[in-house]
Amino acid sequence: MVPRGLLRIVSLIAFAGIAALAGPGSAQGVAPAKGQTYHGTPSFDVDPLLEISRDGKELRDRSFGGVIPCTDGRKRFFGVTARGEAGIPIAADGSFSFTDTPGKSETDIDQEKSVTGIEQTSFTGTFISVDKATVSVTTTFRSARFNCSGTTVLTLSRAGTAGAPFRNGRLATGSYRARGRGIEIRYLRTFAPLAALERLRFSARVACTNGIRYRTTFDLSGFRISRRGVLRLAGGSSAIGGRQPRGTFRLVLAFSRKGGVYRVRGTVRLRGLVKRDGRRVNCINHKTFDGRFTSGPKNLP
């Protein structure tokens, strides 16, 4: 929910403009970590992000967010993101800069009305160490009703370092509680700075072709979650009914954040073949579950 006194500009602008040549920043920097991502503490539904190319010479995906003052006396939130656009050069001293082409954007006047205007965003930044970057983002919005202009300074930390936030745009560090039909989620815990599934323990009732139900248990830990909040796993299944089956499992977890609430959804497909009383028994099951974040540390300052 947007705090009182703030109206929201949601402006997902593709950075299709011409990139400015990267020049030295205000402070001497260093080259970033190749192929890594840098994250900042999320603001509303925008996760500050810098993605570095594999050779370390360009910025790839990026997103920023902040609050800017307007001439009608209100403050409004802006969000800018670019996915799959042309890279932005990173200079040898770790600095970078970009100015996008002005484009149409829409923002709220109040809860029921909106106004269309022209928005432009520019930013400059420096990697002050291999683990940390600072970015200064300036946004202007001009319309017939009011104008807005402001600068936001952000600090982003490389994923997996101590400075990375405990929460980002999709994942929160701590425990999730989830449930589904025929499946019991006993433990689900994540660690956002490393984008990792710390541990998942669950058991499921498995129905087989002979009409008998068994129960299987899984205990998984130490797997990386993608930047889009998705984890996919596949492997051999655990014991069913005290007998080791010849079978597989497929697990998909999807983490998200909407309206300030962190959620998780999951699907598990179990496929096995066991022998009982000299007969082969097929066991094929599909389970789904969903839940939400319940407890964990707050964002780092």
List, for residues 261-300, the tens digit of each pLDDT value.
999 999 998 877 666 666 666 777 889 999 999 988 765 4
Residue 163 lies in a domain: no
The pLDDT, as a whole number, for residue 265 is: 95
Residue 147 within any structural domain of the chain: yes
Highest mean predicted confidence (pLDDT) among 20-29, 241-250, 281-290: 281-290
* Cα–Cα distance for residue pair 18/94, rounded to 1 Å: 20
Residues 41 and 76 in one domain: yes
| 283 shares its domain with 238 | yes
> Collapsing DSSP states into helix, strand and coil, what is residue 65?
strand
Residue indicated by tokens 């930047």:
227
Q: What is the pTM of this model?
A: 0.58
Q: What angle do CA 6, 83, 116 make, to 5 degrees?
A: 40
Domain boundary among 158, 184, 219: 158
pLDDT reading at 235 higher than 80: no
- Number of Cβ within 10 Å of residue 59's Cβ equals 26
- Check whether 182 has a pLDDT greater than 50: yes
Query: Any idea how long the chain is?
Result: 301
Question: For 75-84, 180-189, 208-217, 221-230, which range has the lowest pLDDT when averaged over its residues?
Answer: 208-217
Number of structural domains found in the chain: 2
Residues 20, 150 within the same domain: yes
In a domain, 182, yes or no: yes
Question: In angstroms, what is the C-alpha Rg of the chain?
Answer: 24
Are 141 and 19 in the same domain?
yes
User: In the prediction, which pLDDT does 221 show?
Assistant: 85
The yes-or-no verdict on residue 11 having pLDDT over 60 is no
Nearest to 259 by CA among 53, 3, 50, 44: 44
**Can you give the residue range of the structural domain that contains 236?**
174-295
Based on the fold, state whether residues 284 and 180 are members of the same structural domain: yes
